[in-house]
């Protein structure tokens, strides 16, 4: 079944989402990471769509969602967007799949509305990052700092950036280069990135994580150069009901590099 494409209003922000609901199929909400879009799950969605009701969103500031200057780009507010999405679709016992920063947003959401969440799947999830230091936050208010951020992002070609998230570079296609490069050309992208840098809280502490008792599956590439699998091991220790699976010769973008294995792991878990 093809997914429906729609923009919906959540917390006063127009959010692009793709979804498909089938009766008696458990809901699965997909959250991408920083500077990405729901295309992160491009290879997974057709597989998961056979067994789950799917909701995938572009977070505010990214992809086809609105990039409002009034939105405070914090994990707390991203979690409110996810919670509002769950309410919009009248869902209960939702399973959340979060990749990279999306994993941290999934944890914030679970802390916010534990009664609505069933299980978590955190793929190469952000963990234990502190808030940006005061000097960096100050710089985000400088008039031309946005041009500096854009310059830094464009120092590397998109294909070279993808080589950092894929272990097996032979798997990188022209479609990957085009789709992962698309956000970099969108109006408002760099302002959103700047405001995320300014307002992003630190990741949840060990103490906070110990209060999240939802069944959690952690999936990691052993050669992840963005978020080390050691972070996965720490999360597995701190989350009371977590299981860690690691994949040899795999990098940060497991959703593309090991989509079949990730799909099977999610299916077995949920």
> What is the per-residue pLDDT across 44-55, written as a single tens digit (0 to 9) for each?
999 999 999 999
**Which CATH architecture describes the domain 4-269?**
3-Layer(aba) Sandwich (3.40)
Read off the DSSP letter of residue 114: G
Nearest to 248, CA basis, from 222, 219, 228, 217: 222
Q: Length of the chain, please?
A: 270
Tokens matching residue 109: 């959401």
Burial class (CB in 10 A: 0-12, 13-18, 19+), 40: buried
For residues 181 and 191, what is the distance between their CA atoms, to the nearest angstrom?
17
Percent of the chain whose predicted confidence (pLDDT) is above 70: 100
Q: Please check the confidence at residue 96 and state whether its pLDDT lies above 80.
A: yes
Predicted confidence at residue 19, as pLDDT, reads 97
Tokens matching residue 108: 């914030």
Contact 85, 17 (CB under 8 A): yes
Residues that are catalytic: 100, 252
pTM: 0.95
Question: Given pLDDT bands bounded at 50, 70 and 90, which one contains residue 150?
Answer: confident
Contact 13, 68 (CB under 8 A): yes
Secondary structure element (H or E) that encloses residue 255, with its range: helix 254-257
Read off the DSSP letter of residue 250: -
For residues 38 and 209, what is the distance between their CA atoms, to the nearest angstrom?
26
- Model pLDDT for residues 234-255, shown as the tens digit of each residue: 999 999 999 999 999 999 999 9
Burial class (CB in 10 A: 0-12, 13-18, 19+), 124: buried
């Amino acid at each position: 079944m093809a997914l429906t494409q729609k923009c919906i209003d959540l917390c006063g922000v127009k959010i692009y989402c793709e979804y498909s609901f089938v009766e008696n199929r458990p809901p699965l909400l997909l959250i991408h990471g920083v500077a990405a879009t729901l295309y992160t799950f491009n290879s997974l969605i057709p597989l998961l769509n056979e067994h789950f009701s799917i909701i995938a969103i572009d977070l505010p500031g990214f992809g086809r969602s609105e990039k409002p200057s009034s939105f405070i780009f914090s994990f707390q507010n991203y979690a409110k967007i996810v919670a509002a999405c769950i309410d919009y679709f009248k869902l209960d016992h939702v399973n959340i799949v979060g990749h990279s920063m999306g994993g941290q947003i999934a944890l914030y959401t679970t802390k916010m509305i534990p009664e609505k969440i069933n299980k978590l799947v955190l793929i190469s999830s952000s963990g234990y990052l502190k808030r940006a230091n005061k000097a960096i936050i100050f710089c985000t208010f400088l008039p031309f700092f946005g041009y500096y951020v854009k310059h830094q992002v464009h120092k590397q070609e998109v294909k070279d950036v993808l080589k950092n998230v894929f272990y097996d570079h032979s798997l990188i296609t022209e479609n990957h280069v085009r789709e992962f490069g698309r956000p970099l050309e969108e109006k408002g992208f760099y302002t959103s990135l700047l405001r995320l840098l300014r307002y992003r809280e630190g990741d949840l502490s060990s103490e906070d994580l110990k209060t999240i008792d939802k069944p959690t599956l952690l999936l990691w590439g052993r050669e992840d150069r963005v978020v080390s699998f050691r972070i996965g091991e720490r999360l597995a220790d701190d989350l009371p009901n977590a299981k860690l699976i690691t994949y040899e010769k795999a990098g940060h973008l497991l959703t593309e590099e090991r989509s079949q294995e990730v799909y099977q792991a999610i299916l077995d878990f949920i």
